[in-house]
């Protein structure tokens, strides 16, 4: 008990909410309000409306939403496969090698997303990889940016995995592949699900690399939102942002549900 | 023999007994990463040294490094990132301290909210700031109502301070996560013994809690510095004319002026800065115990 | 080792204490209750600890003993009742003003401070001058035999050494009351007995310091304490000197928890007022036992006899002899434990290591002297056979 007296505790709580609510709560509330605001020329919006969401969908939002979902799902799955494979392979290496190779896999975290996009633009505009102007380059950009998170998340899960499960399984005569698919990966499920959720959420909100590489036919939601706000349609932008947040939240909540259930095993 | 055989060999010698060295299995994901990440990285470097007519040259660097646009952006980027990081550390420390040591019924909800916040896109905050503090924002309406002014009196959003405040808002949770993890590992008996020895709360914070939190503060702070150095969404969305940062220069040169070479030069500088910081971050995390590294992975 | 020259000034009022408590305060719990929502951690607890006394709070985990200690330290605020240090009501006084030394199970040394900085912590918190701090730190470290380790960090010390430093740190503020919360349970068995002697020596050197010692280990309590307060289910069960609780346990809980006694339901047959002895019957056996205070024939009582009081050899003339069947024999290094059965009643007997231990199913005679057995009030007897100490 750091603060013994009740008045001092109450003072600390008041300080907390004075800081927390305006800094973190207000932005989310205000974007939410703007997404359904009829006219906002005062402290509070004049009336509530779903017109912004409707307008956004009448233009391109539907396609952008599907584009983002497709990009996010494909990128997450690919990143999860690469990241899990890499994490398992790196674990089998000796200390020194594991450290070097592991660093190679997490380094994309340190590279600015705009630079990742620029690199793809420069490298994939010439043979042997002519991908500029295709949707593939967008997916690749997302894979690059989220694989590192999948790798470190699965690696952390592996590190927490007690070694004796696999040793017992092997002592019972489980062949390596059998142990991998029947023991290691099932035990790793919570980490895998968490990694998938994180990758999807990050991909859904990705802007820096996408804006560098996207072709006209593959506009993701964040790029679409920027286009809207850039030409002054901030309320429509807010509506789409709320849509994006809700979608992300739904996935994160689903993931944490699956995760709790999986961890009972 | 399947591909999985050696993947799960927790000890390398066992894998060697099967005849296939453990490193073989790392080749596939490494090859993919090489093509989609290291190959483009190499091209950024090569392009940045390509002069007029496609010959190797240092001219692009000479030109870019001497331009006022670049110099201004570099200074501004470092300034914004450092001030934002300091703000995040201060705010994050106070909030994490209260959540951890002066617990209240909703504290768990707050922790969960912090975790979720990390997964949101940063431009959300920039958008919110325009609604709150923008020239047509709520606070300007209030201010004009009260003062009777005809021009919006609040305009900090369109300065570097707007960007800094937005970045503090968005990145404080990145500092709070490792701090909350560190605080949860702090033995409460330390605090109790300290207070039984006569120490008041401020002394306990200064002499018992802060020393224990230093590794987490350093790790969280350097991660925060790295991310703010590379922040793009917030600066783009706020769209202030005078607030140009390195990622904005890259975007402007490559996409708006189709000058890939200039963009690549700036990218090399930006990448060098942030990889250097990242090395520092990894060093600090490894010194503070690997267990906490996963707390800041997002 | 402590030198006598340093010692006399020791138990003055604590340096950091704001409260004007007289020099030798005891501790008084006055009907203290601690409740969290639906659970009661401490129920209507009243206890007087005399100045300079060592009081052990003994009980199984969850018995409320640590909660009681924490109300004295100031980390738990009673739901009702008052806590006094001497004549001062400290019930709602902040912990940092109480001037109480505290030592906990996991040492809780500040990991980033050297040993000497740890010991100096309380003095610096009280704003003592450098000139006072340095000699006091040396003095306290010398008392616990750790002066040579002043410059070390806690992680460079063994568990026993860390606990010595923790004790020195608590003593440095010259507390009038010292709280020891399971101070030995993190140590291994050998270190534990050494530290036990050490704490006993410290108490002889600091006779004015009142000590409240929380433990679940009866040996620690019996060795160290002037008096023992036995606790169970958030309540005080019995208070008494170590000897009286051991030899004449007032309740069946105390009988089993302190010394793991055999408890057997019996019926009184006769009472000899001159010798304060009773003849009692259980199953087919009739035995003579001590019965202070008197009993009436026909009364139902519980016979309490400790395992090591049951001997295979007749100890002296006039001892009781009962025939029993051997159910199980266990060798425990320093002793053989026999599980015996008489008409469905189980008895445990600890004997010296036997050259030729009996076999299962064998019938044999066990003896015990009348003064090694006591009679308790009846009724609670069926819990009595539970083996608390393994």
In B, minimum Cα distance to C93 occurs at: B196
Tell me the average pLDDT across C93-112.
87
pLDDT score at B215: 85
| pLDDT the model gives residue B88 | 94
Interchain pair A118, B195: CB under 8 A: no
Say if residue C67's pLDDT is above 50.
yes
- Are residues B32 and A82, on separate chains, in Cβ contact within 8 Å? yes
Give the closest of A83, A118, A163 to B264, CB-based: A118
Question: Mean per-residue pLDDT for B44-59?
Answer: 82
Q: What's the pLDDT score for residue B290?
A: 41
CB pairs below 8 Å between A and C: how many? 7
* Cβ within 8 Å of residue C163, ≥6 positions away: C103, C107, C183, C184, C186, C187, C195
- The CATH-assigned architecture of domain A60-264 is Orthogonal Bundle (1.10)
Instruction: Locate the chain C residue with the closest alpha carbon to B206.
Output: C125
Point out the residue among C16, C97, C108 whose CB comes nearest to the CB of B189: C108
Cα–Cα distance between C102 and B125 in angstroms, integer?
Answer: 49
Report CB contact under 8 Å: A89, B25: yes
**Lowest-confidence pick of A27-36, B18-27, B39-48, C231-240:** B18-27
- C74 interaction partners in chain A (CB closer than 8 Å): 4
Report the run of H or E that residue B225 belongs to, with start and end: helix B210-229
Token output for C293: 């205070």
Compute the average pLDDT of residues A13-39: 84
CB contact under 8 A, B121 and A205: yes
Least confident of A118-122, C17-21, C326-330, C357-361: C17-21
Give tens-digit pLDDT for C153-207. 999 999 889 999 999 999 998 898 999 999 888 888 778 888 888 888 888 888 8
Say what the pLDDT of residue A255 is: 83
Find out whether B187 and C186 touch, Cβ atoms under 8 Å.
no
Residue of chain C minimizing CA distance to B200: C96
- Asked if C342 and C363 touch (Cβ cutoff 8 Å), the reply is no
Q: What is the pLDDT of residue B85?
A: 95
What backbone torsions phi and psi does residue C290 show, to the nearest 5 degrees? Answer: -70, 140
Look at residue C335 and give its three-state secondary structure.
coil
> A104 pLDDT exceeds 60?
yes
The complex's ipTM? 0.85
CB contacts of C104 in chain B (<8 Å) are 189, 192-193
Residue C20 has pLDDT above 70, yes or no: no
Percentage with pLDDT > 70 across chain C? 90
Q: Note whether B191 contacts A2, CB cutoff 8 Å.
A: yes
Give the model's pLDDT for residue A83: 93
C126 touches chain A (CB under 8 A): no
Instruction: Answer whether A2 touches C (CB < 8 Å).
Output: no
pLDDT for position B18: 53
Q: What is the DSSP letter of B50?
A: B
Tell me the shortest Cα–Cα distance from A59 to chain B, in angstroms.
20
Provide the percentage of residues in chain C whose pLDDT is more than 90: 33
Cβ atoms of residues C58 and C230 within 8 Å: yes
Task: Looking at the complex, report in whole angstroms how far the Cα of residue B226 sits from the nearest Cα belonging to chain C.
Answer: 28
Q: Which pLDDT tens digit goes with each residue over B24-41?
A: 888 899 999 998 999 999
Residues near B169 by beta carbon (within 8 Å), at least 6 away in sequence = A23, A24, A27, B125
Chain C CB contacts of B206 below 8 Å: none
- Percent of chain B surpassing pLDDT 70: 89
Between B258 and A172, residue with greater pLDDT = B258
Contact state of B203 with C126 under an 8 Å Cβ cutoff: no
Q: Which among B4, B33, B40 has the least Cβ separation from residue A119?
A: B40
Domain coordinates of chain A in residue numbers?
1-49, 60-264
On average, the pLDDT of chain C sits at: 84
Chain B closest-CA separation from residue C363 CA (Å)? 54
Report pLDDT for A29. 87
The whole-angstrom separation of Cα C140 and Cα B241 is 67
Write down the pLDDT at residue C388: 40
pLDDT for res C24: 62
Across residues C353-373, what is the average pLDDT? Answer: 85
Q: Nearest chain C residue to B214 by CA: give it.
A: C112
Token pair in block for residue A106: 């997490």
A6–B contact, CB cutoff 8 A: no
**Confidence at residue B37, expressed as pLDDT on a 0 to 100 scale:** 92
CA dist., res. A93 & res. A88, Å (int): 9
pLDDT confidence bin for B4, thresholds 50/70/90: very low
User: Is the CB of C110 inside 8 Å of chain B's CB atoms?
Assistant: yes
Distances from the Cα of B103 to the Cα of B183, B201, C93, angstroms: 12, 15, 21
According to DSSP, the residues that pair with C367 across neighbouring strands are: C311, C321
- pLDDT at position B19 is 55
Pairwise CB contact (< 8 Å): A5 & C94: yes
Asked if the model's pLDDT at residue B198 lies above 60, the reply is yes
Q: What is the mean pLDDT of residues B86-91?
A: 94
Which residues 28-47 on chain A approach chain B with CB closer than 8 angstroms? 28, 30-31, 33-34, 40-43
Q: Which residues in chain C have their CB less than 8 angstroms from residue A4's CB?
A: 74, 94-96
Over the stretch B138-188, which tens digit does the pLDDT of each residue have?
A: 787 777 778 777 777 777 878 889 899 999 999 999 899 889 888 988 888
**CA count, 13 A, side-chain hemisphere, A246:** 10
Chain B residues within 8 A of A121 when measuring between CB atoms: 254, 260
B35, B98, B204 member nearest A12 (Cβ): B98
Asked if pLDDT for residue C7 goes beyond 50, the answer is: no
pLDDT, position C236: 94
Q: How far is B252 from chain C (nearest CA, A)?
A: 49
Task: Say which residue the tokens 């505009």 belong to.
Answer: A125
Question: E strands along chain C, which residues?
Answer: 27-36, 39-49, 54-58, 80-85, 88-89, 100-104, 177-181, 210-215, 227-232, 235-241, 262-272, 277-282, 285-290, 300-305, 320-331, 336-342, 345-351, 363-368, 373-377
The verdict on C101 touching B (C-beta cutoff 8 Å) is yes
Q: Domains, chain B, ranges and CATH?
A: 82-241+290-296 (1.10.3720.10)
Higher pLDDT, B228 or B295: B228
Contact yes or no for C173 and B197 at CB 8 A: yes
Residues 219-248 of B with CB under 8 A from A: 226, 229-230, 232-233, 236-237, 239, 246-247
Subunits close to B (at least 3 CB pairs below 8 A): A, C
Residue B150 burial (CB count, 10 A):
6
Predicted confidence (pLDDT) at residue C12 exceeds the cutoff of 80: no
Residue C24 or residue B206, greater confidence: B206
Average pLDDT over residues A44-51: 72
What's the pLDDT at A85? 93
Per mean pLDDT, which range of B14-23, B167-176, C367-376 is the poorest?
A: B14-23
């Amino acid at each position: 008990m750091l603060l013994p007296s009740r008045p001092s505790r109450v003072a600390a709580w008041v300080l907390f909410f004075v800081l927390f609510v305006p800094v973190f709560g207000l932005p989310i509330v205000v974007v939410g309000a703007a997404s359904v605001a009829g006219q906002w020329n005062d402290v509070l919006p004049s009336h509530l409306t779903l017109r912004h969401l409707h307008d956004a969908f009448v233009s391109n939002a539907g396609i952008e939403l599907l584009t983002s979902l497709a990009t996010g799902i494909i990128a997450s799955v690919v990143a999860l496969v690469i990241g899990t494979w890499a994490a398992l392979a790196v674990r089998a290496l000796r200390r020194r090698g594991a450290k070097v190779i592991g660093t190679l896999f997490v380094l994309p975290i340190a590279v600015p997303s705009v630079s990742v996009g620029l690199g793809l633009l420069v490298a994939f505009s010439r043979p042997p990889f002519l991908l500029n102007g295709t949707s593939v380059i967008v997916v690749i950009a997302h894979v690059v940016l989220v694989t590192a998170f999948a790798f470190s998340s699965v690696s952390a899960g592996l590190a927490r995995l007690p070694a004796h499960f696999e040793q017992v399984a092997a002592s019972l005569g489980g062949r390596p592949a059998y142990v991998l698919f029947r023991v290691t990966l099932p035990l790793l499920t919570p980490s895998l699900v968490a990694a998938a959720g994180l990758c999807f959420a990050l991909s859904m909100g990705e802007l820096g690399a996408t804006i560098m590489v996207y072709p006209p036919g593959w506009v993701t939601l964040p790029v679409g939102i920027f286009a809207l706000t850039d030409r002054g349609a901030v309320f429509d932008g807010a509506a789409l942002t709320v849509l994006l947040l809700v979608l992300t939240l739904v996935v994160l909540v689903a993931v944490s549900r699956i995760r709790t259930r999986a961890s009972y095993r | 023999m399947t591909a999985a055989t050696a993947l799960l060999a927790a000890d390398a010698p066992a894998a060697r007994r099967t005849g296939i060295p453990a490193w073989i299995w790392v080749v596939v994901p490494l090859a993919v990463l090489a093509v989609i990440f290291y190959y483009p990285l190499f091209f950024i470097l090569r392009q940045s040294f390509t002069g007029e007519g496609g010959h190797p040259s240092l001219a692009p660097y000479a030109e870019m490094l001497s331009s006022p646009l670049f110099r201004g952006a570099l200074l501004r980027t470092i300034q914004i990132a450092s001030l934002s990081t300091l703000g995040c550390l201060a705010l994050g420390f106070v909030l994490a301290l209260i959540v951890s040591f002066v617990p209240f019924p909703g504290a768990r909800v707050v922790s969960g909210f912090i975790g979720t916040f990390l997964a949101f896109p940063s431009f959300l905050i920039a958008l919110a700031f325009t609604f709150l503090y923008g020239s047509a924002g709520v606070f300007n309406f209030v201010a004009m109502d009260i003062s009777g002014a005809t021009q919006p009196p609040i305009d900090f959003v369109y300065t570097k301070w707007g960007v800094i405040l937005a970045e503090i808002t968005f990145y404080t949770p990145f500092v709070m996560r490792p701090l909350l993890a560190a605080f949860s590992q702090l033995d409460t008996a330390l605090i109790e013994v300290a207070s039984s020895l006569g120490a008041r709360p401020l002394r306990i914070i200064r002499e018992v809690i802060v020393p224990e939190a230093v590794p987490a503060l350093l790790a969280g702070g350097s991660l925060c510095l790295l991310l703010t150095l590379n922040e793009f969404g917030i600066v783009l969305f706020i769209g202030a004319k005078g607030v140009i940062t390195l990622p904005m220069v890259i975007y402007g040169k490559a996409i708006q002026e189709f000058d890939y070479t200039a963009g690549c030069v700036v990218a090399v500088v930006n990448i060098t800065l942030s990889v250097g910081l990242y090395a520092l971050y990894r060093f600090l995390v490894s010194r503070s115990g690997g267990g906490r590294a996963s707390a800041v992975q997002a | 080792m402590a030198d006598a020259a340093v010692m006399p000034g020791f138990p003055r009022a604590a340096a950091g204490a704001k409260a004007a408590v007289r020099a030798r305060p005891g501790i008084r719990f006055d009907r203290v209750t601690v409740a969290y929502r639906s659970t009661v951690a401490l129920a209507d607890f009243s206890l007087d600890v005399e100045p300079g006394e060592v009081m052990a709070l003994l009980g199984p985990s969850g018995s409320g003993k640590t909660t009681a200690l924490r109300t004295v330290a100031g980390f738990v605020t009673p739901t009702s009742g008052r806590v006094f240090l001497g004549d001062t009501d400290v019930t709602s006084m902040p912990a940092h003003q109480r001037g109480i030394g505290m030592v906990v199970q996991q040492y809780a040394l500040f990991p980033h401070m050297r040993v000497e900085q740890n010991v100096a912590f309380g003095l610096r918190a009280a704003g003592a001058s450098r000139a006072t701090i340095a000699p006091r730190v040396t003095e306290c470290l010398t008392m616990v035999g750790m002066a040579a380790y002043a410059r070390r960090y806690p992680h460079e010390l063994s568990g026993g050494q860390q606990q010595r430093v923790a004790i020195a740190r608590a003593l440095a503020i010259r507390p009038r009351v010292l709280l020891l919360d399971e101070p030995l349970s993190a140590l291994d068995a050998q270190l534990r007995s050494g530290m036990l002697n050490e704490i006993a020596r410290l108490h002889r050197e600091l006779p004015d310091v009142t000590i409240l010692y929380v433990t679940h280990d009866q040996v620690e309590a019996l060795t160290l304490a002037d008096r023992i307060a036995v606790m169970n289910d958030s309540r005080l069960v019995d208070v008494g000197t170590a000897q009286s609780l051991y030899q004449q346990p007032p309740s069946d809980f105390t009988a089993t928890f302190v010394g793991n006694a055999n408890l057997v339901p019996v019926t009184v047959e006769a009472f000899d007022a001159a010798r304060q002895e009773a003849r009692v019957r259980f199953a087919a056996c009739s035995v003579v036992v001590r019965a202070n205070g008197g009993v009436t024939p026909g009364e139902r009582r519980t016979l309490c006899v400790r395992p090591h009081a049951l001997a295979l050899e007749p100890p002296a003339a006039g001892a009781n002899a009962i025939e029993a069947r051997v159910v199980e024999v266990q060798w425990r290094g320093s002793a053989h434990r026999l599980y015996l059965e008489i008409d469905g009643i189980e008895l445990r007997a600890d004997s010296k290591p036997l050259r030729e231990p009996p076999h299962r199913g064998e019938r044999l005679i066990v003896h015990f002297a009348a003064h090694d057995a006591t009679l308790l009030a009846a009724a609670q007897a069926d819990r009595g056979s539970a083996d608390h100490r393994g």
